[in-house]
Amino acid sequence: MVEDKLSKYKEKRDFEKTPEPFTSQGSSSAKPRFVIQKHDASRLHYDLRLEVDGVLKSWAVPKGPSIDYTQKRLAIPTEDHPLDYIDFEGTIPQGNYGAGTVIVWDTGTYRNLKEKEGQKITMEQAIEEGHVEFYLEGEKLKGAYALIHTGQKGRKFWLFFKMKDLHHETSDILKERPESVLTGRLIEDLE
């Protein structure tokens, strides 16, 4: 049940005080979507969210994504978010959970790439097993990425990284493209 998955999300927030969405309307698109939000909270970080079975499975990525496959970025699982969060951009007022500003740094669709013994497995199963592979079709991020848990301290620490392919990009996309893909705004513009 989507409602059960969102109980943690709802517990942490008072919707009279935060503009964050709380509904998870079904996806109309055939392809599942993803979003990476840049979130200037007590510490600046990025939030990777993948649409899986009616919610957004979420990981906080302190250093943000990299298009360089030699760079592996720490990713820490956070509570499932409602689907409506996918285009949330704005300010979470002081005193609320995650207080600070949020922009949609990248968004688009993805394809599940994970196979096991030649068979496709579901995203749910891949996440459960701690080894997720997907092809991002975003505005900034394109190509195959992986999310793999490190096995240390249970499932607390994962790594998010670009999978190796023919292209070797070394530029810093976070610096080159800091803006929101929805509005063109910088996070500083909201502060």
List residues near Mn ion by CB under 5 A: 39, 47
Q: What's at 121, amino acid-wise?
A: I
Output the smallest distance, CB 47 to Mn ion, in A: 4
The Cβ of residue 1 has, within 10 Å, a number of other Cβ atoms equal to 7
CB-nearer residue toward Mn ion: 43 or 118 = 43
What's the CA dihedral at 95, 9, 103, 139 to 10 degrees?
A: 170
Closer CB to Mn ion, residue 165 or residue 188? 188
Shortest CB 30 distance to Mn ion, Å: 28
CB of 37 to Mn ion, least distance (A): 7
Nearer to Mn ion, 39 or 73 (CB): 39
Please state the closest distance from residue 116 (CB atom) to Mn ion, in A.
31
The residues, any chain, with a CB within 8 Å of residue 128's CB and separated by 6 or more, are none
Query: Which of 118, 147, 125, 142 is closest to 49 using CA atoms?
Result: 147
**CA–CA distance, 134 with 156 (Å, rounded to integer):** 20
CB nearer Mn ion, residue 56 or residue 114: 56
